[in-house]
Structure 1
């Protein structure tokens, strides 16, 4: 989890490869209407996010039922959104990619081909609720290379390369 431009997709892909787990980008669960809304520079509201979060939760449930570990990316900026993803799923862990606004803004300025415009960064930071201690999230700074961040995440989760433990970092 983290704001747009924090490196969620890149780091999650590295982590999944490192662990030999399935990776899916939560953006793939957005409806075409919601992608168009964001592309036009309009942030999603909670009503827009509800079906998206439910779809990601369904993907997590399928992985857990099959005892197949996976990594899914989701901004999950508010605790209420993370609660939807973690609720009654003890094996799910949240990983928060934490970075300062200047670094993320520079990354967004360099990013090409993504539907989320840099102009929405302020709205992302405005609603961001970093995980509270009782959420048992792993918080990682994003000022290192993606592979190093993935290694840090794996270590903090107690997972080595090729791990097959059915946990699903979100």
Structure 2
């Protein structure tokens, strides 16, 4: 559950498919994500111990981005989408930098694919499938976020690690 590849892919789906796909100004949001990811990726490499807080932040952002889709359109301002896009892009860039070369590609592929699919579904007024995916992402994000803070139960680790 501490795999940065999964976190980055689901962050890309939550940010791209949900925030950008339903945002009124999708091009601005994609530009903000790309700029923030680039800035995050070129920042100096953080300490080795900062991977866990970045993963927790990524899971929290997945929950926020996917949960914001369940808000009515009039209660979901464009500023919220912009903030989610910027923070998600920066987090993806930093996490990709900490996790190693090539991991940021998971974010980019998931972001691109989910954005195209959600824009096509939103144009046809098929919002329910996207909201089902959003609910699934909230559940997966909450599960991963809570599993990282729970203590390890004896019996779930090999004997030499207990």
Do they fold alike, i.e. is TM over 0.5? no
Greater share of helix residues, 1 or 2? Answer: 2
Greater share of strand residues, 1 or 2? Answer: 1
TM-score by length of 2: 0.29
Structure with larger Rg: 2
